[in-house]
Amino acid sequence: AAAEDVEDQLLQQVDKQGEIEDSRKFAESIGVNHDKVLGDTIKSLLAYELITTKTVAHTRWELTAEGQQYAKDGTPEAQLFHAVPEQGTISREEIEAKLNKDLVTIGFNRAMKERWLEVEKEKKPEGAPEEKKEAKKEKGAKAPPKPQIVKRKVATIDDIVQKQLQSVAEGKELSEKDLKALQSRKLVELVTFKSFVISKGPKFALKRTKALTDMTKEMMDSKAWKGATFKDYNFAALGLPPSGGSLHPLLKVRAQFRKIFLQMGFEEMPTNNFVESSFWNFDALFQPQQHPARDSHDTFFLKAPEKCRSVPEDYMKRVKEMHEHGGGGSLGYGYDWQYSEAAKNLLRTHTTAVSSRMLYKLAQDGFKPKKYFSIDRVFRNEAVDRTHLAEFHQIEGLICDRGVTLGDLLGTIEQFFSRLGMNEIRFKPAFNPYTEPSAEIFGYHPQLKKWVELGNSGMFRPEMLQPMGLPPDVNVIAWGFGLERPTMILYNIDNIRDLFGHKVNLNVIRSNPICRLGY
Ligand code: PHE
């Protein structure tokens, strides 16, 4: 409430007088500390543009801590003088017993200069010269101080310096010479301080309307936001520093897989299109349009945009011909191929869609032997459980060249997994619409003591490669497997939902060990 009063008073004074000449005097007049007025009121009124300010620098002489002490107790020389009896003498040792030793040191010299005190000349005590000789033998040892006997030289003194200090404390004027003398004794110092001239700002008002920071549902319902003032965003705010980044286990394992591919001379394919047409995902792969995998139970189709923009015209015709009537000795499927079906957009169900685009491009650019790989996301309309997600990652690899064989396929896959530390690999004949022969890949898991399925592979069919325009003697061996399963094995995670998705505990990511390959 106090701060609000200060704010009201300040705004009223600015309104009445046009400006406040000195914020310090204003603070004094209302009996509030200037720093408080500045921190609580002036700065925030300034931010809200109710006022503008001009800074004025002032200087003032103030007492140092030492100066304050002497203003209260008298200067050391005066204190010393009063410690000496009116009549007779006193030894320095006796004074030091009464007063602080440093004070005596400072005061003694001053009092001598002022001719307030004098030291009584005394005969040297006997044996003193000998003592001196002794002392010289011991390196660094000091000669014993000769006892000083002190007495007053005047009856009374006037501690002018104390009075001057008291004047400075009261803010009274002092001559330049006196001030310099006090300053050289480090009893006063020149202090600079700021105050402000306060005048009306562009949004001046006698009352401040507090700016709001949030829009609430209630405000939207009642339309109260219309008249409200909102606080500006502070785009310069730094925000909270992040506690530190950690790589997700999937990224670590992906990095290892990528490294192995690169070591084996593979190039990475661009995988930056999650949305794909049915054409590249299925038709280009000689997958018939009635194939169960094309059902919406297995595939996420897009509602908008429902259809792709285009596919290469000539190529599409060759694909249609191959599906309908076959070619090169193949009979095809003997059904009526529809472009409308091929144009349907979907979330790619496998990264083999990427491979089909790349092989087509390679055929257009003029065939060269290639080794390609990719690791990225795919999507399947699947019921989610401990081992299945609707969104996961596929590792895809292919080699295209003249004369590559099934032996190359099996050998390459074995080589790939042996670099992961998995030396026991088995293949099982399988079926794929786009490969012949096809082989599922199994790896032996020593902890689980069983063969686990790792992926699928095969040699792409001529029905897929010929319409693309690849030379007829070029073979393509290819394979695909998941990234999640090996990662779960490597990181000992038994529920895929603990690895990937919105339920993942961030601490698992922060604290998981660096990727260790080999089981
Ligand atoms: N695309 C297949 C899958 O989704 C894997 C695969 C890739 C099989 C290449 C053969 C050749 O499982």
Shared domain for 323 and 174, answered yes or no, is: no
Q: Are residues 389 and 493 located together in one domain of the fold?
A: yes
For ligand 1, atom 8, the nearest C-alpha belongs to 457
518 part of a folded domain: no
3-class SS at 336? coil
Q: Tell me, yes or no, whether 190 and 314 share the same domain.
A: no
How many domains, in total, are found in the chain? Answer: 3
Q: Residue 271 domain-assigned?
A: yes
Q: Is residue 131 part of a domain?
A: no
Q: Is residue 57 part of a domain?
A: yes
Substitution candidate for ligand 1 out of 432, 441, 481 with most atoms within 8 A of CB: 432
Residue located nearest, by CA, to atom 5 of ligand 1: 480
Which residue do the tokens 């601490």 mark? 507
pLDDT value at position 305? 96
Are 38 and 175 in contact, with CB atoms under 8 Å apart? no
Kindly compute the dihedral angle of the four CA atoms of residues 109, 115, 121, 124, in this order, to the nearest 10 degrees. 0
Query: Using one digit for the tens of pLDDT, what is the confidence trace for 464-493?
Result: 999 999 999 999 999 999 998 888 877 778
Q: Average pLDDT per run of 10 along the chain, which is 519 residues long?
A: 84 94 93 92 91 92 94 94 90 87 89 90 56 48 71 92 94 91 94 93 88 88 87 87 83 91 96 96 96 86 96 98 96 96 97 97 97 97 87 96 96 90 90 96 80 92 97 97 84 84 84 63
- pTM score, whole prediction: 0.57
Query: In this structure, are residues 376 and 407 in contact, taking their beta carbons and an 8 Å threshold?
Result: no
Q: Are residues 227 and 269 in the same domain?
A: no
Q: 433, 292 in Cβ contact below 8 A?
A: no
- Kindly report the CATH number assigned to the domain that includes residue 6: 3.30.1370.240
**Measured between alpha carbons, how far is 247 from 480 in angstroms, rounded to an integer?**
24
What CATH number does the domain containing 259 carry? 3.30.930.10
- 306 and 382 both lie in a single domain: yes
375 CA → ligand 1 middle, Å: 13
Q: For atom 10 of ligand 1, which residue has the closest CA?
A: 457
ipTM: 0.97
Buried b (16+ CB within 10 A) or exposed e, 251-263: ebbbebbbebbee
**How far is the centre of ligand 1, averaged over its atoms, from the C-alpha of 451 (Å)?**
19
Ligand 1 center from residue 480 Cα (angstroms): 5
Determine the residue type at 492.
Answer: N
Q: What is the DSSP string of 35-58?
A: HHIIIIIIHHHHHTTSEEEEEEEE
Residue 215 φ/ψ, nearest 5 degrees: -95, 125
Per DSSP bridges, beta strands 51-63 and 188-200 are antiparallel
- Ligand 1: which residue has its CA nearest to atom 2? 480
Cα 352 to ligand 1 centroid, rounded to whole Å: 6
* Amino acid in the structure at residue 235: F
Residues with CB under 6 A from ligand 1: 350, 352, 432, 435, 456-458, 478-480
In sequence order, what are the beta bridge partners of 344? 307
Is the same domain home to 71 and 85? no
Which whole-number Å values give the CA distances from 387 to 135, 184, 267, 384, 494, in the listed order? 93, 84, 30, 8, 8
- If one residue of 282, 350, 377, 464 were mutated to test the ligand 1 pocket, choosing by the most ligand atoms within 8 A of its CB, it would be 350
Ligand 1 pocket test: pick from 456, 464, 465 the residue with the most ligand atoms within 8 Å of its Cβ.
456
Q: Measuring CA to CA, how many Å separate 9 from each of 5, 195, 206, 368?
A: 6, 17, 9, 85
User: What pLDDT score was predicted for residue 131?
Assistant: 47
The domain boundary, picked from 205, 239, 273, lies at: 239
Residue nearest to atom 9 of ligand 1 (CA): 479
CA atoms lying within 13 Å on the CB side of residue 187: 24
Distance (Å, rounded) from C-alpha 263 to C-alpha 283? 33
Ligand 1 mean position, distance from CA 449 (Å): 26
How far does residue 398's CA lie from ligand 1's centre (Å)?
Answer: 10
- Residue 145 confidence (pLDDT): 61
Distance 455 CA to ligand 1 centre (A): 7
Span from the CA of 457 to the centroid of ligand 1 (angstroms): 6
Spacing, Cα 259 to ligand 1 middle (Å): 21
Q: Are residues 353 and 414 in the same domain?
A: yes
Do 94 and 220 belong together in one domain? no
Q: Would 245 be classed as within a structural domain?
A: no
Report yes or no on 130 lying in a domain.
no
Are 76 and 110 in contact by the 8 Å Cβ rule? The answer is yes
Q: Kindly state whether residues 440 and 297 are assigned to the same domain.
A: yes
CA distance 3 to 36: 9
> What range does the domain containing 409 cover?
250-511
At 436 the pLDDT is 96
- CA-closest candidate to residue 279, choices 201, 333, 343, 327: 343
Say what the pLDDT of residue 7 is.
93
Asked if 84 and 71 sit in the same domain, the reply is no
Tell me, yes or no, whether 193 and 289 share the same domain: no
Residue 456 C-alpha to ligand 1 middle, in angstroms?
Answer: 5
Alpha-carbon span 27 to 309, nearest angstrom: 72
Residue 244 forms part of a structural domain: no
Residue 368 and residue 437 in one domain: yes
Q: Which residues pair with 394 in a beta bridge?
A: 376, 482
Answer yes or no: is 114 within a domain. yes
Pocket test for ligand 1, best of 352, 355, 380, 416 (most atoms within 8 A of CB): 352
* 221 half-sphere exposure, CB direction, 13 A CA radius: 3
Instruction: List C-alpha distances in Å: 142 to 109, 133, 363.
Output: 21, 11, 101
